[in-house]
Structure 1
Amino acid sequence: MKQALTLLLLVVFLTGCTRTFSGIQEDSENIWENTRDALHRATSP
């Protein structure tokens, strides 16, 4: 019983971490695209 509960908690924890990491990657990609676009607009004639 104790092992099953530990396994369940571990799975929930790892799933949450995976989703958080995916969110961080998505946010970083959006920030990079916005920065690149802003630099392009600032330096284009």
Structure 2
Amino acid sequence: MIWKWFCQKMAAYWRWVARSQADKAALALARAEEWRRRAGL
């Protein structure tokens, strides 16, 4: 259960990075998607 929570937090973090740093947005969104998949959503 903690793993799913952790994955969700990581996905949220990467989405925040994408918003705050436009130059890294594509990379960050890919990372967020990766974490979202790991959480099994």
Of structures 1 and 2, the larger Rg is shown by: 1
TM-score, normalization by structure 2? 0.52
Which structure 1 residue ranges, 5 or more long, are not aligned? 1-22
Identify the residue that residue 29 of structure 1 maps to in structure 2: 7
Higher helix share: 1
- How many correspondences in the alignment? 23
RMSD: 1.3
4+ residue segments displaced more than 6 Å = none
After superposition, give the CA deviation of every residue in 1:2-45 in whole Å (9 maximum; x if it has no partner): xxxxxxxxxxxxxxxxxxxxx10000000000000001110016
Please give the residue correspondences for 1:1-45 in structure 2 after superposition, counting only pairs within 5 Å. Answer: 23-44=1-22
